[in-house]
Chains A and B, each alone.
Chain A
């Protein structure tokens, strides 16, 4: 799908401050955590404080985007939060976030769910509403505080963080020239209502799920745009671990150099709905006018959304003095022991609870 005159007006991210290493997790379960981390290409993952959740992470990320873009919150006509860890089963995350940034009451708001690609789906909806002239600015947030069952392979990667993107007609720091999707019914990963931890299809999560959707979707948008991998300075994939996106990139013909800024999971873990968006934010933190960026998200269940993005001259004067650069979130963090991590993540039950 070609898009006209729509793009990213501003963006912000938030990654909680605490980290845990695969080594520390492995020690508890009698597993060689170092080897596990090496296999997954994960050095550490972020851990939210007990007082952080998808609502607080979304709000902090969006506050950064609003400050950087000098946006009047009352100009935001739509706000969507994509997550698989909304704090309430019934009561929208989006309403709290909208109130906390002062965008209420004249806007439409909703929560999106599509495993890890709910945030990219929200970008697509905002693009449509902005293009049609229904709204001036649309906000798309992808944010999660995901959990793996204790001892499960997912526990080494599932982390917390979020990205907020303000979509509008201009002036934009990056044009979104096209978007494409690839969607099928594939049961690779799920969580039933009321279940605390998700289930997954083990090895089934690879070939027929992540790799098929990501590569097919990437090929589709490049064929529609008449582009090839070497036409892009940077590529960003969804990144459930550090290895899958590298392999998808190789399968498609991208180099490590094109992937270097878009790959953030090795240091903060898989932030689910936030992952591709934080990767894109890191690319934009480093990008120059004219840079061409391909983004391919993925959500289990399953689907991929791709975006063909061109960075504009506006990026040269874009004010990033608010918020934390993604690179700093990758390089900093306070390490936790497994015991404190278990306490923070509510894995320890208190008497009476």
Chain B
């Protein structure tokens, strides 16, 4: 992904910036300029309220990736999940700080700020949200 394209998306990737319809109160991520749910779309034009997701959600569905995408060789096997946020939107993201075998549908997670990828050794580093289990108290070694 180009440096410029990623940069334009930092608001939502860094801060989980979303938008909310003032009429039906549906929250959209990524943010939308109009509400597609309300019958009269024009009503919501220029009225959508910017908001920020809390970062809390539950795993809706997941898959364990064994064939690494480029740049993820060090993390195999890793978990990709659809996460239903407490405000409603469904996000796709990696689940980190967990044994893949411990990921279950319904697992409570919270957003964690992580490195998403690097454009090679000399390139720009992209950051954004991943998800980690909301509570865990593993034993110290």
B127 within 8 A of A: yes
Q: Are B138 and A332 in contact (CB under 8 A)?
A: yes
Query: Which of A52-60, A232-240, A254-262 forms contacts with chain B?
Result: A52-60
B96 within 8 A of A: yes
Contact with B along A310-340 (1 / 0, CB 8 A): 0000000000000000001011111100000
* Among candidates A87, A96, A333, residue contacting B140 with C-beta atoms closer than 8 Å: A333
Using CB atoms, name the residue of chain A closest to B133: A17
Q: Are A335 and B141 in contact (CB under 8 A)?
A: yes
B67 within 8 A of A: no
Using CB atoms, name the residue of chain B closest to A334: B138
Q: How many residues on chain B are close to A (CB under 8 Å)? A: 24
Residues B87-141 near A (CB distance < 8 A)? 96-97, 112-116, 121, 125, 127, 130, 136-141
Contact with A along B38-79 (1 / 0, CB 8 A): 000000000000001000000000000000000001110000
Q: Are B74 and A60 in contact (CB under 8 A)?
A: no
Q: Are A49 and B96 in contact (CB under 8 A)?
A: yes
Chain A residues contacting B114 (CB-CB under 8 Å) are: 49, 51-52, 56
Known: A49-B97, A50-B75. Contact between A99 and B10, CB under 8 A? yes
Q: Are A333 and B141 in contact (CB under 8 A)?
A: yes
Cα distance A17–B96 when bound, in Å? 10
Report the contact-size class of chain A (Cβ under 8 Å from the partner). 35 or more
Q: Are B138 and A100 in contact (CB under 8 A)?
A: no
How many whole Å from B14's CB to the nearest CB in chain A? 4
Chain B residues contacting A52 (CB-CB under 8 Å) are: 114-115
Known: A59-B113, A60-B113, A353-B121. Contact between A51 and B138, CB under 8 A? no
* Among candidates B14, B74, B115, residue contacting A53 with C-beta atoms closer than 8 Å: B115
* Among candidates A51, A96, A344, residue contacting B130 with C-beta atoms closer than 8 Å: A51
Known: A17-B97, A99-B10, A100-B14. Contact between A56 and B141, CB under 8 A? no
Q: Are B14 and A99 in contact (CB under 8 A)?
A: yes
B26 within 8 A of A: no
Using CB atoms, name the residue of chain A closest to B116: A51
Known: A50-B74, A88-B125, A96-B127. Contact between A44 and B113, CB under 8 A? no
Contact with B along A97-119 (1 / 0, CB 8 A): 00111100000000000000000
Cα distance A118–B138 when bound, in Å? 31
Q: Are B127 and A55 in contact (CB under 8 A)?
A: yes
Residues A33-85 near B (CB distance < 8 A)? 44, 49-53, 55-56, 59-60, 63
Using CB atoms, name the residue of chain B closest to A96: B127
Cα distance A44–B112 when bound, in Å? 24
A213 within 8 A of B: no
How many whole Å from A163's CB to the nearest CB in chain B? 16
The 6 closest A-B pairs by CB, nearest first: A335-B141, A50-B74, A51-B114, A100-B14, A51-B115, A59-B113
Where the two chains meet, the residues of B that have a C-beta atom closer than 8 Å to any C-beta of A are 10, 14-15, 52, 73-75, 96-97, 112-116, 121, 125, 127, 130, 136-141
What would 30 A/B residue contacts be, using CB atoms closer than 8 Å?
A: A19-B140, A19-B141, A44-B140, A44-B141, A51-B96, A51-B130, A52-B114, A52-B115, A55-B127, A56-B114, A56-B127, A60-B113, A88-B125, A99-B10, A100-B14, A100-B15, A101-B15, A102-B52, A330-B140, A331-B140, A332-B136, A332-B137, A332-B138, A333-B139, A334-B97, A335-B140, A335-B141, A346-B74, A350-B73, A353-B121
